[in-house]
Homo-oligomer: A and B are copies of this chain.
Amino acid sequence: MATRWGVIGTSNISHDFAVAMSTLPRTEHLIIAVASKDKARSQEFAEQFEIPKAYDSYSLVATDTEVDVVYVGTLNEHHYSVSRLMLEHGKNVLCEEPFCQNTEQVQQLVELARSKNLFIMEAMWMFFTPAFTILREEINKGTIGEPLQIISSFGTPMSESLIQQRNSGGSILELAVFSVYMSQFLFGPEKPQIYGACGQLTESGFDKDASVILKYSNGRISTFLSHFKVDLPNEAIVFGTKGNIKLYDPFWSATKMSVNGTDINIDVPPTKKATRYGNSVQLIYEIQEVRNCLLKGLNESSIVPWSLSIENAILVEDIRKKLGVTICK
């Protein structure tokens, strides 16, 4: 029987989520409802992806008894409240990254899911991509020796007015989340020392850019940059004592990587419609993970377990505090 999805929000990432899902068998995955506060937008989204129900209220998805699991694709600042609403109504949840706007919110969602025996996972799709799977295997095989350094970046230029308008937490929370996860994957769960510089803050106290060094034990260091004003390489490179592995731009959904200088191209399924973000048909891998977990009766994924999301939230919050950024409540 197909997993029946509800989609909250008609953002670009929700669009790509629906495009990606349309490449999977309808016997396994179906979007049966979409909700936007703007009725016209949910109707348009529903028509575009042949979704039977278009709601103008998130509550209607929460109370729709046919929905098994909800994908939260709203703006970041609503992730917590929407996910909470869904859990309270007994829905399983896949919530876009970054999960919440502070650690407490992540912990509350996890506790709520635990108490209600529901599934919830932060949509850290990078971890499910083939490139990341290869990275994991090569690291474990010792192909690059002892990993000692990571360099990564995510910078995407935006107009000054758009930067000022944003209320989503700043570049560390919004962009560097992938770099922090990459650091945790290789060097965690140890809590690193944080060194860093924050370029400039918006009037509301969010970082327009950040440069961060995380120092772990035994000479292991992760250096990363996030930026709303300049385009950065958007690559991640892991350097070891015997070589390096590079995930090309965009590193969080790479379809090209190199292992000790040898390029590897990764095939991904073709889509009928273009995705709005690069390579985001790769959302299918996390979509499949959600179904697998639900079929097994698991409330958390072993790839992005609750503990990892909480550790990530703590580290991201610590970095933001260190750099003087406002933590949203």
- Chain B residue nearest to A244 in the complex (CB): B231
Interface flag for A151 (CB, 8 Å)? yes
How far, in whole Å, are A254 and B97 apart by their CA atoms in the complex? 39
User: A235: nearest residue on chain B (CB-CB)?
Assistant: B233
Whether B209 and A219, one on each chain, are in contact in the complex, defined by CB atoms closer than 8 angstroms, is yes
Contacts A195-B196, A196-B195, A213-B211 hold; do A149 and B231 have CB atoms under 8 A apart? Answer: no
Decide: A229 near B197, CB < 8 A? Known: A209-B219, A223-B223. no
Residue A169 at the chain B interface, CB threshold 8 Å: no
Contact at B221–A223, with CB atoms within 8 Å? Answer: no
Let me know if A197 and B195 touch, CB within 8 A.
yes
Q: Please determine whether A197 and B209 come into contact, CB atoms closer than 8 angstroms.
A: no
Q: Which size bracket describes the interface of A in this complex?
A: 35 or more
A248 to chain B, nearest CB (A): 13
Identify which of B155, B214, B215, B243 contacts A239 (C-beta below 8 A): B155
Q: Which residues of B contact A243 (CB under 8 A)?
A: 231
Instruction: Please tell me which one of the listed residues B151, B209, B229 contacts residue A225 in the complex, with CB atoms under 8 A apart.
Output: B151
A209-233 CB contact bits vs B (8 Å, 1 = yes)? Answer: 1011111001111010101011111
Whether the Cβ atoms of A225 and B227 lie closer than 8 Å is: no
Bound Cα distance from A232 to B153, whole angstroms = 15
Complex contact A240–B230 (CB within 8 A): yes
Question: Would A157 and B241 be within 8 Å (CB), given that A149-B225, A195-B197, A225-B151 are in contact?
Answer: yes
- A23 to B209: give the CA distance in the assembly, Å: 46
A-B contact pairs, 9 of them (CB 8 A): A148-B227, A148-B229, A195-B211, A199-B215, A199-B220, A208-B219, A213-B213, A230-B244, A231-B243
